């Protein structure tokens, strides 16, 4: 039963839609403060489908992700008590406490690291606001960290995507089921 190959083809078609950059910007903004899906899932197929625009897509993702990070910062600064029940119900209470400890140890560098890594960036943006991190260093670290990540993703898709596309297509079903399995495993052991 093929599920992921048709989804892969659909994603590539959607990535060429004239409004796709707007959706990419919206997703990038939302992911930095509350949305659970990283913008890489749009950036990658858009850069693969239109490699000549890959760097433009990276700019859009970086700018809107940084702006969304500022929203996350404001949520943490102004609304932490209001959203605390959601943090607890999502099982992020311990993670939040760990992130606050990271802020104490590493300061603004942890924002840069979180921006570049696959860590849940929104928890870091909210925590930065809740711990009263200075806003300008937060914005700079977010911009550089997120930019490094998104430009790397776009560059890899631009340079190697077309050559790697047949491999992706051949293994997309296996890769999809492996990801589903990892998600289920995470939910079980969490």
What confidence tens digit (pLDDT) does each residue in 125-175 have?
A: 999 999 999 999 999 999 999 999 999 989 998 888 777 777 777 777 777
Binned at pLDDT 50, 70 and 90, residue 190 comes out as low
State how far the Cα of 16 lies from the Cα of 82, in Å rounded to an integer: 39
Span 48-86, pLDDT tens digits: 888 999 999 999 999 999 999 999 999 999 999 998 998
Q: Is residue 189 part of a domain?
A: no
Whether 125 maps to a domain, the answer reads yes
Give yes or no for residue 1 having a pLDDT over 70: no
In a domain? residue 181: no
List, in order, residues 6 or more apart from 33 with CB less than 8 Å away: 68, 69, 71, 72, 75, 122, 125, 126
pLDDT digits (tens, 9 = 90+) for 5-53: 777 777 777 778 889 999 999 999 999 988 878 888 889 888 888 899 9
In a domain, residue 116? The reply is yes
173 domain-assigned = no
- Kindly give, in sequence order, each residue whose CB lies less than 8 Å from that of residue 171, ignoring residues fewer than 6 positions away: none
pTM: 0.81
Question: Does the residue 150 lie in any domain?
Answer: yes
* Cα–Cα nearest to 101, from 73, 131, 74: 131
Q: For residue 144, tell me if it sits in a domain.
A: yes
Overall domain count for the chain: 1
Determine the structural domain holding residue 94 and report its residue range: 14-162
Q: Which of 37, 129, 31 is CA-nearest to residue 83?
A: 129
Assess if residue 177 is contained within a domain. no
């Amino acid at each position: 039963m093929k599920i992921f190959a048709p989804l892969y083809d659909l994603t590539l078609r959607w990535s060429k839609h004239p409004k796709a950059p707007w959706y990419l910007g919206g997703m990038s903004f939302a992911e930095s403060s509350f949305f659970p899906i990283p913008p890489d899932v749009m950036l990658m197929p858009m850069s693969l489908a239109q490699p000549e625009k890959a760097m433009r897509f990276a700019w859009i993702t970086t700018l809107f992700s940084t702006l969304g990070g500022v929203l996350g910062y404001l949520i943490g600064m102004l609304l932490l008590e209001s959203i605390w029940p959601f943090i607890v119900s999502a099982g992020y209470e311990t993670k939040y406490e760990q992130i606050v400890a990271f802020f104490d140890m590493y300061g603004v560098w942890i924002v840069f690291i979180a921006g570049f890594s696959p860590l849940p960036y929104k928890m870091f943006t909210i925590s930065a606001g809740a711990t009263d991190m200075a806003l300008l260093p937060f914005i700079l670290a977010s911009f550089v960290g997120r930019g490094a990540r998104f430009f790397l993703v776009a560059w890899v898709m631009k340079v190697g995507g077309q050559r790697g596309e047949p491999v992706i297509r051949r293994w997309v079903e296996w890769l999809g089921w492996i990801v589903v399995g990892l998600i289920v495993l995470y939910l079980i052991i969490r």
